[in-house]
Amino acid sequence: MEPDVMKMLAVGLAAGLGLFGPALGLGLIGYSAMQALGRNPEARGAILTNMILIGALAEAIGIYALIVAIILAMVA
Q: For residue 47, how many C-alpha atoms fall within 13 Å in the half-sphere facing its CB?
A: 16
Residue of 72, 73, 62 lying closest to 16 (CA atoms): 62
5-48: per-residue pLDDT in tens? 988 998 999 999 999 999 999 999 999 999 999 999 999 999 99
pLDDT at 76: 60
- 66 phi/psi in degrees, rounded to 5: -65, -40
pTM: 0.79
**62 pLDDT exceeds 90?**
yes
Q: What pLDDT is recorded for position 35? A: 96
The fourth-level CATH superfamily of domain 3-74 is F1F0 ATP synthase subunit C (1.20.20.10)
What are the residue ranges spanned by the domains of the chain?
Answer: 3-74
